[in-house]
Structure 1
Amino acid sequence: MEILLVDDHPMIRLGLAHTLSTALPELPIAEAASGEEALQRVQEHLPGLLIMDFDLPGISGLETTRRLRQRVPQLRILFFSEHTELSLVRQALDAGACGFLSKAAQPPVLVEAVRRVLSGHAYIEQPLATQLACQSHPMQAGDVRLSGLTQRETEIFLMLAKGTPSRLIAEQLCISAKTVSNYLTLLKSKLQVSSQAELVHLAIDAGLLRIAA
């Protein structure tokens, strides 16, 4: 399973390649310096993941993503950009990207993002994910506690609130049932609730969960 780095700056590609080759030596790395080159490379050899920049000579990273997803709907694309305006993050996700990471992210965050996207999950860098969630679902005054959750905690919080069984959460997130139980205990403490039912009410009050009519 190959990773294709799409960035017009050789030093950026070099740094990415070094970080990923060190952490994930089993994955071959290929490079493209433009959207046109990325389109050609994907046509010749389908990679498992593209790491895409916004600013590319010729076709933009956004347009390249749209074209690639039209041709290969299952293709997984992770944006890696210095531009982190929420409007651009939304455009990238709407175009079909599976994740978004800023170029200020530390190497371990990059590696975690790659692993998550390759395993079939979406990944948005934590500060951006929080901003998107708050923008989409303005929180009530008493729900500011939710902004203190990590991305994984938020993910499990929403799954628990929707009534997803712990066993299924463990399977979907590739963690143990014991870990899910530990997260539930942690969430109760962080959110100052005493039961899973209160988690549901908190999600409803925050606008993150709707009651079926």
Structure 2
Amino acid sequence: MAILLVDDHPMLRLGVARTLEQGLEGLAILEAGSGEEALIKVGEQLPGLVIMDFDLPGISGLETTRRLRQRWPQLRVLFFSEHTELGLVRQAMDAGACGFLSKNVEPGVVLEAVRRVLCGHAYIEQALATALALQAHGGQGVHARLHGLSQRETEIFLMLAKGGSNRLIAQQLCLSSKTVSNYLTLLKSKLQVRSQAEMVHLAIEVGLLRVAA
């Protein structure tokens, strides 16, 4: 499995490469210092994942992502940037990215994001994901309950709200049924609901789940 790091700071690429090599096995780390170079590298060896910065010399990370996804629609891109404005996060996802992290996250979060994206899931840093949801739907009260959820708790909450069974969620997330059951108990407490049906109503109320017309 090859991962391409696209950033114009060699020291940052070195740090991310070391984190990935220490936390994941069987990786080939490729590097590019610009969007133009990234396009060439991907053309030479299609990686399983591209970790992309926003600010690049020449074409931006956003435009690079658009071009990469146009040529290789199956390519997965994870943004890793010091810019965390919500508008930029949305633009990155609209351009075809599968995830977004700020550069101040802990190494463990980087590894978790990479694992999740490589498994075919989207991953947005918890604080950014919560801010996006709250900005999109606004308000206080019930929305505030979502602030205390972790990335995994939010994911399981949405899967449960969409009718997923403990067994199905366990299979999709590579967890045990007991672990999912424990998450369900924790979510009921944090969200102040008594049943999965109430979770559905809560998800609808905050705008994270739509009712079919």
Normalised to the residue count of structure 2, the TM-score between the two structures is 0.96
For 1:134-145, list aligned pairs within 5 A. Answer: 134-145=134-145
* Larger displacement relative to structure 2 (3-12 or 171-180): 171-180
AA matched with 1:38: A
| Residue matched to 1:153 | 153
* Displacement over 4 Å in runs of 4+: none
Verify the 8 A CA contact 1:98 1:117 in the aligned structure 2.
Answer: yes
Tell me the secondary structure at the aligned position of residue 80 of structure 1. strand
CA contact (8 A) 1:5 1:30 kept: yes
C-alpha displacement of 1:105: 0.9
2:46 alignment partner, SS class: coil
Matched, 1:196 2:201: no
| Separation in 1, partners of 2:86, 2:44 | 33
Equivalent position of 1:11 in the other structure: 11
Structure 2: 5+ residue runs without aligned partners? none
Structure 1: which 5+ runs fail to align? none
- Which residue of structure 2 aligns with residue 28 of structure 1? 28
Q: Distance in 2 between matches of 1:169 and 1:47?
A: 28
Equivalent in the alignment of 1:51? 51
- Deviation for aligned residue 1:140: 4.9
- CA drift of 1:142 comes to 3.2
Normalising to structure 1: TM-score of the pair?
0.96
User: By how many angstroms is 1:167 displaced?
Assistant: 1.8
Distance change >3 Å, CA 119–CA 159, structure 1 → 2: same
Distance in 2 (alpha carbons) for counterparts of 1:50 and 1:102: 15
| Cα distance in 2 for residues equivalent to 1:143 and 1:80 | 27
**2:148 is aligned with what amino acid?**
G
Q: Report the aligned-residue RMSD.
A: 1.2
CA distance in 1, matches of 2:74, 2:111: 21
Deviation at 1:47, TM superposition (A): 0.3
Equivalent position of 1:113 in the other structure = 113
Q: Secondary structure at the match of 2:93?
A: helix
Counterpart in the other structure of 2:167:
167
**1: CA distance, partners of 2:207 / 2:97:** 25
Q: Residues 125-172 of structure 1: CA distance to partner in whole angstroms, max 9, x if unpaired?
A: 111011011112224523411221111111111111111222221122
Equivalent position of 1:42 in the other structure: 42
Equivalent residue letter for 1:104: N
Distance in 1 between the 2:130 and 2:199 partners? 18
How far apart are 1:33 and its partner, in Å? 0.7
How many residues are paired up?
A: 213
**Which residue of structure 2 aligns with residue 133 of structure 1?**
133
**How far 1:28 sits from its partner (Å)?**
1.1
Structure 1: how far apart are the matches of 2:20 and 2:209?
Answer: 37
Q: CA–CA distance in 2 between the matches of 1:34 and 1:41?
A: 10
Structure 1: how far apart are the matches of 2:44 and 2:204? 48
